[in-house]
Amino acid sequence: MMRVKGKVALVTGASQGIGEEVARVLAELGVFVAAIDQNGEGLLELVKDLRKKGLQAADFVVDVGDSTAVDQLVDKIERDLGPIDMLVNVAGILRTGLITSLSDEDWVKTFRVNSTGVFNVSRSVAGRMIPRRYGSIVTVGSNAAAVPRMQMSAYAASKAAALMFTKCLGLELAEYNIRCNIVSPGSTDTPMQRSLWRGQDAAQSVIAGSLKTFKTGIPLGKLAMPADIANAVVFLLSDSARHITMHDLRVDGGATLGV
């Protein structure tokens, strides 16, 4: 059983893509969703739509790379909505290019959101979960953390950092009955994925793979949909996964060949 109804979840990167889908699925299961992002307009649309359906959600604009702002926001959520039972780290950005062409800003910004953001939010929420001796944290990573990718060095490295951080977090929090896991998507039909596409057959090219760029295709022959990732996240958050922690669940249609 999922048994998440009545709980409070904080979801970062909730204004679009995977984060939005996670927020929607959790809200539909009866969770009160604290949706956070830097994109206030997207958040507002999401929350308005959820409330129109009689679901519980609130929007909060914050830069996850700002530790002080994050800590103040977590305080506010706990004060206004109640104890945070679940955290989903989804906020992420992608800067592509050959390593020799990446700017300092590309590297720093990517790590600020994808790695430091995960650290800031997880540290703040975990500190409040520890005295309650209960909680579940899921970080949405990427299968790019497991295999080298052309022109994605900053993204892949930042996701690898978030992956190992979440595993270390899970090890340290295990004694408090707090589980920490990772869901690592492959190519998923989101705005971030579509920003990489060039030409009409871009999706099919992703599925087929490319020897030239050393990229395997997708054995299942299709892109993931955001719901595929959200369903994996919800499973790991729930009591159905009560004996799973420090696990990296790859949801990539077999693209990393089970490695």
Q: Each residue of 129-156: pLDDT tens digit?
A: 999 999 999 999 999 999 999 999 999 9
Q: 11 to each of 91, 107, 254, how far by Cα in Å?
A: 8, 24, 26
Q: Is 176 a catalytic residue?
A: no
d(C-alpha 209, C-alpha 85), whole Å = 39
Q: Each residue of 94-141: pLDDT tens digit?
A: 999 999 999 999 999 999 999 999 999 999 999 999 999 999 999 999
Q: Which of 73, 155, 64 is nearest to 116 (CA)?
A: 64
Residues whose CB falls within 8 Å of the CB of residue 78, separated by 6 or more in sequence, listed in order: 84, 128
Say what the pLDDT of residue 194 is. Answer: 65
pTM of the complete model: 0.94
* Whether 84 contacts 12, CB under 8 Å: no
Tell me how crowded residue 69 is: count the other CB atoms within 10 A of its CB: 14
Q: Each residue of 30-73: pLDDT tens digit?
A: 999 999 999 999 999 999 999 999 999 999 999 999 999 999 99
What are the strands, taking DSSP E only, across 8-147? 8-12, 32-37, 57-61, 86-89, 135-140
Q: Taking residues 156-165, report their average pLDDT.
A: 98
In what order do the strands lie in the sheet containing 57-61? Answer: 57-61, 32-37, 8-12, 86-89, 135-140, 178-185, 248-251
* Whether 2 contacts 234, CB under 8 Å: yes
Q: Which of 135, 122, 129 is nearest to 162 (CA)?
A: 122
What is the share, in percent, of the chain residues with pLDDT greater than 70?
Answer: 95
Tell me how crowded residue 50 is: count the other CB atoms within 10 A of its CB: 21
d(C-alpha 60, C-alpha 215), whole Å = 37
Catalytic residue among 32, 111, 119, 155: 155
Choice among 112-116, 134-138, 186-190, 227-231 with the minimum mean pLDDT: 186-190
- Predicted confidence band of residue 200 (pLDDT cuts 50, 70, 90): low
Tell me how crowded residue 13 is: count the other CB atoms within 10 A of its CB: 26
Structural domains in the chain, CATH included, are 8-251 (3.40.50.720)
In a 13 Å sphere around the CA of 94, the CA atoms on its Cβ side amount to: 16
| Residue 191 predicted with pLDDT over 80 | no
